[in-house]
Structure 1
Amino acid sequence: MTTATELTYADCVDRLRAAQEAAAALPSVVWQATGAELGAGLQALGELSAVAEGAEAAITIDALDRGEPAASNPPVNNREWVMHHHRRYAVAGAGTLATVADACRDSRHTILRDAVTSGRVSIATAMVILKEMRLLKPHLNPDAVDTVWHAYMTLGERHDARTVRRLRDELLARHGHDGEFDDTEDRAKKGESLTLGKEIAPGLWEYVLRITREGRACLEAAIGPLTAPTPTPADEHGPAEPDLRPHDLRRAHALLAVIGRAQKAGDKTWSSTKAQIFVQITLEDLQNKAGAGSLLGGLTTGELVTPDTVRRWACDATIIPTLLNTCGEAVDLGRAERFFTPAQIKRLWLRDRHCTYPGCDAPAAWTDAHHLIHWADGGPSDLTNAALLCQRHHTTVHSQRYHGWIETDPHGRQHVVWDRTRGAYDHALTRLDTGRGLDRDGPTHPSQRPSSPTAEAIPRASGDDNIWHRQ
């Protein structure tokens, strides 16, 4: 049998003609095949398609290297040259092949060239990978570029372009410059919006909502339990009735139900904890604000959130982290004791009245209870370690690493003080670690956690303009 290395270019073209004739004749004789033979035939065609696409890329790369498009009469561009010689390619397809082939000529893209010309990665998937790498490369550590290329090629061999796109966040979290993954969340927040709505049919309105990964996780956690079908069981008054509502309608009803509950609550404290969100993150990543947390359960399973988001959620959302050690083994499953109780929240409402961030008067009912020393850093769920923050400023405090503490005025009234110097929290935490032996080995039982810092325990710069007191 002739090996591939013994074939000439002319031999390859002749055999391709023969394969073309065989494929053209196959529909008329397919009736002769057994069930197993049908599967074998489809497998052979799939493998042929893959290697044929790789060969198309190899030919196009060589033609571009030789300058064939420019040497044509009349001269044409790369896409037009592909279209002229490959009648099955439409304009878009020819452009994709020409773009991928041109990229493969770059000496820095040998990993891409090998994967494409061998047929392991399709032209369409290679195009997606190129776009993803253009987006990611400026944000990657230089030493990780080849690792990321290999990751994309490996994924591209087994999955479609949609799956390849979903790898972006994971790669950015693991191989990006420090803070790059967090920055994407911060930039995305600027694009959040909810339109006023427009009437698209009599009595029917359409809203467009744009939210970040964090917002999506919270939304799905809130409405997820209410979206399941609710059939009516049979009883003495009638037979069973199935829930015939389509999925989108159930989701709309679930969202309206959540809004209705919030309206009925009014100025009352929550009678139960918030919607549960399960996040998997390593203990090291949580403490070092590195990597990413992976959501578990529901439509958002597998999606990533930043460590800062996980740390902020740990303040008062019913987030149940699965903390993993370096071997990927669960070392701590969260307990609801880490969260402020409804009774504590009532007292916070009385003490703080509204959001404690400088200049914000968001009412208490719109706020979250924030751990001044974060729970992930050993901070307890005590009133002396708590402050009310609206969602917007809760995000700001965590992302900018602002530091807050409780002070008592001469009249005995307690109020929250904020140091709005970026990174102030980390400086305060370092002082606490040194002076008080704060436990940095991860969350412990509340009874084992250190008491919250007092005003005397944390030195502050007198007269600093960034210090603001909420009276």
Structure 2
Amino acid sequence: MSLDSAVPLPECPGAPAGAALVPVEPGRGQAALQELEALVAVVDELPALIHQLGDAQVESLTQVLLRLHGRSAQVAAVVTADAVDRGTVAGSTAANTTQWVCRHAEASGVPIEPGEAKSIAVVAEACRERKNAVIAAAVARGSCTVSTARAALTNADKVAPVIPSADRGEVLAWFLQLDPALGAKGVQALTRKILATYATEALSVQDAKLEQVETLTWGTTATGMTRLVAELAPANAAVLKAAITAGSAPRPATAEAGGSSLAGSGDAGGATGASESGGKGTGKSLRDERTPGKRRADALMELITAGAKVAAGEVAPVGSAATILLTMDLTSLTDGIGAATTPGGDVLDAGAARRAACDADLIPAVLGGPSQPMDVGRRERLVTKGLRAAVLIRDGGCTFPGCDRPPGFCEVHHVIPWWAGGETSLTNSAMLCCRHHQEVHRRGFMARVGPDGVTWELTPGRMPSHTHAAA
């Protein structure tokens, strides 16, 4: 009897045709996946159903969708990390993790940007390492966006050698304690502050190298427009942004009986408003319909035109260079150690700040001290230049929750209105963009002003003697 005929061997075991694969561990995972697939089908239906919803429901829907959008990227990073650990990525035909993510995005029918796929892949790879456990936990619980996680991982490598006493987990924790609204930009700004404090020379050398490789190029697009592309070092970028922002605020037009005129035309600083009466009682204020990009382009052309006239000798230069508001303590300025911060959040090394002090207007400000020297009490209704600078340093832009309008687009608001007995002082001032300044007066919102900033109480009617008048 042969061996083959003695014992009939069973067929090779395997899953029956059409059967689902057995999960690695029993639990709710498979059911959750099926529910998620059903949810995707519902999301695909929504564009045709929006007209059936009321205003409040549209707002709720937007919140849900944005939560899904952000949370999906976080969970995708966690799942990708697991796929790498299992060998799923290595067993595929993808060249790397980023390509694996891109392929699955394409298969889903909704491709994602290569940069977003790269971020998911980078964070997924990093979260597998024990030294990045702080970031892995934050991404898993949803308290850190994928882009912020990637920025934290990258910048931790720059900070760790500068502060040997702090381990990597501590450095990553510093980044995660930042306001989530700051995102990756906040992580980069904190990194520069740390380098400016503990490795001033290294930051100065780094920025000097960046200045040597600055570029400005241009080319013609398919539409016939010319596209400018500039890469500038932090100090020069701060000068450019300050100058353009100052001249790119909206300029309402004043329509007169015989036509219309642009308020503030020819003034690089721009006008903040136009009289409803038009001076003769016949004018009417019209909103500036230029897009933000168009306003910035106009401001750039005004600067170039003015500079070209000076260079050609047609006009004499007036005043100093661009006014840049830098916040830093006197010791940092005199000793060249530390950093200066612009209202837009750009961090400059002390050397760049000292160079700016040679030619730019300087507005001295005492930080952390009492506000009385900058207050004008009830003697003046309008905000003085020094007080506005103090409010700008403290607030950095519009203080209304969720608004990111820069100082050039903002006004100083009397928290307790002047006509209700409020003083023109630092402790009674808050920076608001035009839109939110109107909203605050229309709804009668109040705020608490402290040394570190402004906190709004969004309960209508709290403003003293609430009316529609402006402070």
Aligned match of 1:213 in 215, 224, 234? 234
- Superposition map of 1:125-274 within 5 A: 125-134=148-157, 136-137=158-159, 140-144=162-166, 145-155=168-178, 157-161=180-184, 165=188, 168-174=191-197, 176-192=198-214, 211-218=232-239, 241-242=261-262, 243=265, 247=295, 248-261=297-310, 264=313, 272-274=319-321
Counterpart amino acid of 2:176? M
Cα distance in 2 for residues equivalent to 1:20 and 1:56: 15
Cα distance in 2 for residues equivalent to 1:56 and 1:275: 46
Aligned match of 1:121 in 138, 141, 144? 144
Change (3 A) 1:230 1:279: same
Cα deviations across residues 52-89 of structure 1 (Å, max 9, x unaligned)?
433332222222222233345x7975345545655235
Which secondary structure state, in structure 2, belongs to the residue aligned with residue 302 of structure 1?
A: coil
Q: Report the RMSD for the aligned CA atoms in angstroms.
A: 4.6
Counterpart amino acid of 1:120? S
C-alpha contact (below 8 Å) 1:54/1:119 kept by paired residues: yes
Aligned match of 2:133 in 104, 107, 110? 110
Q: State the percentage of identical aligned residues.
A: 25
Matched, 1:99 2:122: yes
Matched, 1:56 2:76: yes
- Superposition map of 1:29-40 within 5 A: 30-40=50-60
Cα distance in 1 for residues equivalent to 2:255 and 2:119: 58
Matched, 1:281 2:304: no
Partner of 1:307: 350
Cα distance in 1 for residues equivalent to 2:346 and 2:334: 20
Cα deviations across residues 22-79 of structure 1 (Å, max 9, x unaligned)?
434555555554332332233233334444433332222222222233345x797534
Cα distance in 2 for residues equivalent to 1:38 and 1:160: 26
Superposed displacement of residue 282, structure 1: 1.9
Change (3 A) 1:64 1:240: closer
Aligned match of 2:32 in 5, 9, 12? 12
Matched, 1:78 2:127: no
Partner of 2:339: 292
Cα distance in 1 for residues equivalent to 2:54 and 2:228: 54
C-alpha contact (below 8 Å) 1:79/1:91 kept by paired residues: no
Superposed displacement of residue 107, structure 1: 0.9
Cα distance in 1 for residues equivalent to 2:89 and 2:192: 38
Superposed displacement of residue 100, structure 1: 1.9
Cα distance in 1 for residues equivalent to 2:213 and 2:120: 34
C-alpha contact (below 8 Å) 2:119/2:150 kept by paired residues: yes
Which secondary structure state, in structure 2, belongs to the residue aligned with residue 279 of structure 1?
A: coil
Counterpart amino acid of 1:60? T
Cα deviations across residues 202-228 of structure 1 (Å, max 9, x unaligned)?
xx9998766543334455667776777
C-alpha contact (below 8 Å) 1:281/1:323 kept by paired residues: no
Superposed displacement of residue 292, structure 1: 1.2
Cα deviations across residues 358-416 of structure 1 (Å, max 9, x unaligned)?
xxxxxxxxxxxxxxxxxxxxxxxxxxxxxxxxxxxxxxxxxxxxxxxxxxxxxxxxxxx
Cα distance in 1 for residues equivalent to 2:255 and 2:63: 50
Counterpart amino acid of 1:309? A
Partner of 2:18: none
Cα deviations across residues 76-135 of structure 1 (Å, max 9, x unaligned)?
75345545655235583555433321111011111211122223333344344444445x
Q: What TM-score results when the alignment is normalised by the length of structure 1?
A: 0.52
C-alpha contact (below 8 Å) 1:223/1:255 kept by paired residues: no
Superposed displacement of residue 260, structure 1: 2.6
Cα deviations across residues 270-326 of structure 1 (Å, max 9, x unaligned)?
875554333221234334433211234xxxx332322223334434543223242xx
Cα distance in 2 for residues equivalent to 1:178 and 1:320: 24
Counterpart amino acid of 2:205? D
Matched, 1:46 2:70: no
Change (3 A) 1:84 1:183: closer
C-alpha contact (below 8 Å) 1:218/1:275 kept by paired residues: yes
Counterpart amino acid of 1:303? D
Aligned match of 1:319 in 362, 366, 390? 362
C-alpha contact (below 8 Å) 2:326/2:340 kept by paired residues: yes
C-alpha contact (below 8 Å) 2:119/2:147 kept by paired residues: yes
Counterpart amino acid of 2:261? E
Partner of 2:462: none
Listed as ranges, the gaps of 5+ residues in structure 1 are 1-5, 334-471
Partner of 2:417: none
Which secondary structure state, in structure 2, belongs to the residue aligned with residue 241 of structure 1?
A: strand
Change (3 A) 1:188 1:321: farther
Counterpart amino acid of 2:97? N
Counterpart amino acid of 1:59? V
Cα deviations across residues 401-440 of structure 1 (Å, max 9, x unaligned)?
xxxxxxxxxxxxxxxxxxxxxxxxxxxxxxxxxxxxxxxx
C-alpha contact (below 8 Å) 1:121/1:156 kept by paired residues: no
Which secondary structure state, in structure 2, belongs to the residue aligned with residue 293 of structure 1?
A: strand
Cα distance in 2 for residues equivalent to 1:68 and 1:220: 47
Partner of 2:419: none
Counterpart amino acid of 1:290? I
C-alpha contact (below 8 Å) 2:134/2:173 kept by paired residues: yes
Cα distance in 2 for residues equivalent to 1:182 and 1:40: 48
Cα distance in 2 for residues equivalent to 1:105 and 1:151: 20
Partner of 1:380: none
Q: Size of the alignment, in residue pairs?
A: 313
Cα deviations across residues 138-164 of structure 1 (Å, max 9, x unaligned)?
663234544542343355843555565
Which secondary structure state, in structure 2, belongs to the residue aligned with residue 121 of structure 1?
A: coil
Cα distance in 1 for residues equivalent to 2:246 and 2:90: 61
Partner of 1:447: none
Partner of 1:67: 87
Cα distance in 2 for residues equivalent to 1:90 and 1:209: 27
Cα distance in 1 for residues equivalent to 2:349 and 2:234: 9
Which secondary structure state, in structure 2, belongs to the residue aligned with residue 319 of structure 1?
A: coil
